[in-house]
């Protein structure tokens, strides 16, 4: 991703999500200038992206796919810990930041899918994706078969938080989550 594309994503997706979250909860704050945070996240994103290219791609000068872009952005945001909580616990801050990072990455994913829908001139799919804003999340209809009443989003954020805390958060596993969310969203559209 070019610096210009990163800045576009930051200004149109990530920054508004961060500011919305902060403005809707007076306990939350961003401890640094937003420009400094953007540079910190960009540097971390570039480092993660370059590591993926070096370690897992045959053509290290090639582009990474959108799922890896979302995964690198998620990890860069979580590592930056952009949101702090007044008198909050470290665990609470990690969860808030994981939530912001995951939603931001999901909106980024949807923007790539929307671009594809425009390219193939599928106006129905384009309208569906625009309405979604984020990918569709799976849900279970029979709640007696599950051991938690948490939503898919909440369960995923908890899992990602625990993986991050134990230093087991893998960019490739994250990319797979985003790929599966895209496929699930596509299947929801096709089932309509």
Q: What is the pLDDT along the chain (192 residues), one digit of tens a residue?
A: 788 999 999 999 999 999 999 888 889 999 999 999 999 999 999 999 999 999 988 888 888 999 999 999 999 999 999 999 998 888 888 889 999 999 999 999 999 998 888 888 888 888 888 887 677 776 655 455 455 567 778 888 888 988 888 888 899 999 999 999 999 888 888 888
Instruction: Return the DSSP state at 89.
Output: -
How is residue 180 written in tokens? 């599966």
Helix axes 34-56, 66-80, angle to 10 degrees: 130
Six token digits for residue 185: 């969203």
What contacts 170, CB < 8 A, 6 or more positions away? 163
Q: Please list the alpha-helical segments (H only) found in 81-151.
A: 90-119, 123-132
Question: If we measure between CA atoms, which residue out of 134, 98, 123, 126 comes closest to residue 13?
Answer: 134
């Amino acid at each position: 991703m070019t610096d210009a594309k990163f800045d576009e994503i930051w200004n149109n997706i990530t920054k508004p999500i961060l500011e919305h979250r902060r403005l809707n909860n007076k306990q939350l704050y961003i401890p640094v200038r937003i420009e400094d945070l953007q540079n910190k996240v960009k540097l971390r994103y570039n480092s993660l992206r370059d590591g993926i290219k070096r370690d897992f791609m045959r053509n290290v000068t090639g582009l990474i796919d959108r799922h890896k872009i979302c995964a690198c952005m998620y990890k860069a945001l979580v590592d930056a810990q952009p949101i702090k909580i007044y008198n909050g616990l470290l665990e609470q801050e990690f969860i808030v930041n994981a939530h912001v990072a995951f939603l931001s990455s999901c909106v980024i994913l949807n923007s790539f899918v929307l671009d594809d829908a425009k390219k193939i001139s599928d106006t129905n799919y384009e309208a569906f994706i625009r309405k979604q804003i984020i990918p569709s999340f799976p849900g279970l209809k029979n709640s007696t078969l599950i051991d938690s009443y948490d939503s898919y989003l909440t369960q995923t954020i908890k899992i990602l938080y625990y993986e991050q805390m134990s230093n087991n958060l893998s960019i490739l596993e994250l990319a797979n989550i985003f790929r599966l969310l895209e496929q699930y969203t596509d299947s929801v559209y096709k089932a309509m």
